[in-house]
Amino acid sequence: LFARHGVIRTPSLPALIETLKLLTVSGPPPGPGLGVLTVSGADCSIVNDVAERHGVTLPPPDPERSVALDGYLGGLGKAVNPYDFSVGTWRDPEAQMRCFSDFAKAGFDSVMLMSSYPLHSPWSSLQNWDHGVDALIAAKRETCIHASYAVSLVETIPDYARALDRGRGHAIAGARGGHGVLCARKPLPRAAS
């Protein structure tokens, strides 16, 4: 009954709040195909576990884009979804922008960046996480893809990063491993005209 009427169900109140935030800031995703960028293998595992729990399929990147995405891994792996972009692009903002753009063009309905700012770190190292957020925003601008930023530790997002993303129409959504982003995967029914 709920699914038939487009009601999104969440496992908890925090996930409901994050889901509402995502839908309010960036609207409903246009389809179920989600591509996920991460900064670690651990985040890839978290996303896979949460996606499976919510019945979300993470499709592989298009074969033609996979070749370009493989290049960013420096021969250390193959492009899969979720995709750990940090192997070959960490501390290289230009490479991250190219990588995120290629990933956004890999046949997904929407993309999500999953990372968490470090809790206690000198300012200079926070710039490495900023580069990922900037690359996501640039890929959204270039490709017009539905994009979101999920974190496992929402407390670590600096205030300036929250304001930057909200001001540009990008949702920072996803306490507890991106539950909000994954709960909102199914497009909402459109009103009859």
pLDDT at residue 174, rounded to an integer: 45
Q: What share of the chain is helix, strand, coil (3-state, %, to 5)?
A: 50, 10, 40
- Collapsing DSSP to helix, strand or coil, 134 comes out as helix
> What is the C-alpha separation between 187 and 182, in angstroms, rounded?
12
pLDDT at residue 104, rounded to an integer: 94
Residue 35 — φ and ψ, nearest 5°? -105, 135
Residue given tokens 């509402």 in the structure block: 20
For 50, the token pair is 């949460």
- Collapsing DSSP to helix, strand or coil, 129 comes out as helix
149 close to 162: Cβ distance less than 8 angstroms: no
What residue ranges of the chain have pLDDT lower than 70?
1-3, 120-124, 160-193
pLDDT at residue 97, rounded to an integer: 94
> What is the C-alpha separation between 36 and 92, in angstroms, rounded?
19
pLDDT at residue 189, rounded to an integer: 46
Going along the chain from its start, the domains and CATH numbers come out as 13-183 (3.40.50.261)
pLDDT at residue 106, rounded to an integer: 95
b/e 94-118 (16+ beta carbons within 10 angstroms → b): ebbbbbbbbbbbbbbbbbbbbbbbe
What does DSSP say about strands 83-84 and 34-38: parallel, antiparallel, or unpaired? parallel
pLDDT at residue 94, rounded to an integer: 94
pTM of the complete model:
0.81
pLDDT at residue 105, rounded to an integer: 95
pLDDT at residue 58, rounded to an integer: 93
> What is the C-alpha separation between 5 and 85, in angstroms, rounded?
37
pLDDT at residue 169, rounded to an integer: 56
Q: Over the stretch 5-46, which tens digit does the pLDDT of each residue have? A: 777 777 778 778 777 877 777 777 888 889 999 988 888 888
pLDDT at residue 163, rounded to an integer: 61
pLDDT at residue 57, rounded to an integer: 83
pLDDT at residue 191, rounded to an integer: 46
